Amino acid sequence: MTKPGKAPAPCGVAGTSPGASGKVGGSCAVVAPKVGSLYRWPTMVASPLGPLLNGRQGPWSTNKNRLGQVLDDRWTLEAIVGQGGMSTVYQARDRDGGVVAIKILHTHLAEVPSSRARFLAEERASHQVRHAGVVAVLASGESEGVPFLVMELLEGETLAERLRAGRLEPTEAIAVAVGVLEIVARAHDSGIIHRDLKPANIFLTADGQVKVLDFGIAKLPHDATGYLTGEGAELGTPEFMPPEQAGGSDHEIDARTDIFAVGATLFYSLAGHPIHHARSSNEALVAAATRAVVSLSEVVPDAPDALVAIVDRALSFDAEQRWPNARAMARALVATLPASERASLGAFDTSPTLPETSPRSPRRRLG
């Protein structure tokens, strides 16, 4: 089967053990390992934080000042590997010599309850989903009142980075989508809706696994704070949103919201552009809320009919017309492949509760 990478070559992952789940093919997917841009914070269409920043020092001026800092007398921050509007990710060295990623909330957001809650949602999601395709949160703590997460350090590239080299072939796009759907199915079993699935939040590791990143705006069960959800709050990325999410109807968001986003990601992977043509995020948001998506066959005429039908169904404007769950969509995708390709991909587990797919380091709370 075509692997989501450049060419087969020896490769490895720092700080993680390969698991059978979420693996694309049977060998390495990416030749040149890259670390960075893998922990970007999810897009927020409208940020309520602008007034809070007036007269405050910007986050970027303090990032480099942390280099060399030792957290909890254990992890030394060595380099910045990614940063966004909410957090910075550092490569850090454990006192035992191991290398990890440490994600630190920007100082000026540490006192904002909604920002802190969203930041810590990643730890909750990792604990609840317990799947090798979710980035492992190994520990958490605080440094001078600012929360941080210790995470496995990934090597490889995001799907967004992979797509800069060009569109995917159908078998490669299917392999990635099935890997994502397996992870999403486990999250849905736990009552978690990701709400921001997109190429930038899908990671292809150097040994051929698929990882889903950034559960920072996930809809979690029993969210007592109310900070992670909210009627009228447009959280996510408009280019990959279904209409109910673009319209801010939180009560309508469920597993089919993520299924639409997987369909939009498949569309982008095969067509090379988003589901709606828009000149800005606001225009994309309006399009997502009001316009049906054109059939994949109109933009990729040579796409197999069976694949077109699967993608078109996932992108139905009416959520009732979409795939009922992630496993049903994954089974349909696998069924489009020849038997030899199915064997290469591996069987998709259809059980309601999937077994643990690889050993996970025990989590602990620090401080």
Same domain, 149 and 58: yes
Question: Given 124, 154, 184, which residue is the final one in a domain?
Answer: 154
Give the pairing of strands 137-143 and 364-365.
parallel
Catalytic residues: 196
Residue 139 domain-assigned? yes
Question: Given 154, 181, 201, which residue is the final one in a domain?
Answer: 154
Question: How confident is the model at residue 31, as a pLDDT?
Answer: 25
pLDDT over 80 at 252, yes or no: yes
Residue 133 domain-assigned? yes
Residue 176 domain-assigned? yes
Same domain, 137 and 271: no
Residue 89 domain-assigned? yes
pTM of whole model > 0.85? no
Cα–Cα nearest to 162, from 132, 197, 195, 206: 206
Same domain, 316 and 223: yes
What's the pLDDT tens digit per position in 141-188?
Answer: 999 899 999 999 999 999 999 999 999 999 999 999 999 999 999 999
Same domain, 253 and 178: yes
What's the pLDDT tens digit per position in 258-301?
Answer: 999 999 999 999 999 999 999 988 899 999 899 999 999 999 99
Structure token digits, residue 40: 């970007």
Same domain, 250 and 322: yes
Question: What integer best gives the mean pLDDT of the chain?
Answer: 77
Residue 103 domain-assigned? yes
Question: Given 154, 181, 196, which residue is the final one in a domain?
Answer: 154
**How many Å apart are CA 105 and CA 119, to the nearest integer?**
7
pLDDT over 60 at 57, yes or no: no
Same domain, 148 and 162: no
Same domain, 181 and 318: yes
Residue 41 domain-assigned? no
**How many Å apart are CA 337 and CA 221, to the nearest integer?**
35
- 116 in Cβ contact with 145 (< 8 Å): no
**How many Å apart are CA 30 and CA 14, to the nearest integer?**
14
Same domain, 242 and 322: yes
What's the pLDDT tens digit per position in 79-98?
Answer: 998 887 788 999 999 999 99
Residue 317 domain-assigned? yes
Same domain, 280 and 259: yes
pLDDT over 50 at 328, yes or no: yes
- 180 in Cβ contact with 197 (< 8 Å): yes
Same domain, 183 and 274: yes
Assign residue 315 the CATH number of its domain.
Answer: 1.10.510.10
Assign residue 142 the CATH number of its domain.
Answer: 3.30.200.20
Residue 19 domain-assigned? no
Q: Which domain holds residue 297?
A: 156-345
Domain count along the chain = 2
Angle between helices 255-271 and 305-314 (to 10 degrees): 140
Question: How confident is the model at residue 219, as a pLDDT?
Answer: 87
Same domain, 319 and 286: yes
Same domain, 182 and 323: yes
Structure token digits, residue 58: 């910007």
Tokens 């060595």 label which residue?
A: 78
How far CA 178 is from CA of 31, 67, 124, 347, in Å, comes to 22, 39, 24, 10
Q: How many CA atoms lie within 13 A of 256 on its CB side?
A: 19
Structure token digits, residue 127: 């604990």
What's the pLDDT tens digit per position in 96-148?
Answer: 999 999 999 999 899 888 888 888 888 888 888 888 999 989 999 999 899 99
Question: How confident is the model at residue 258, as a pLDDT?
Answer: 97
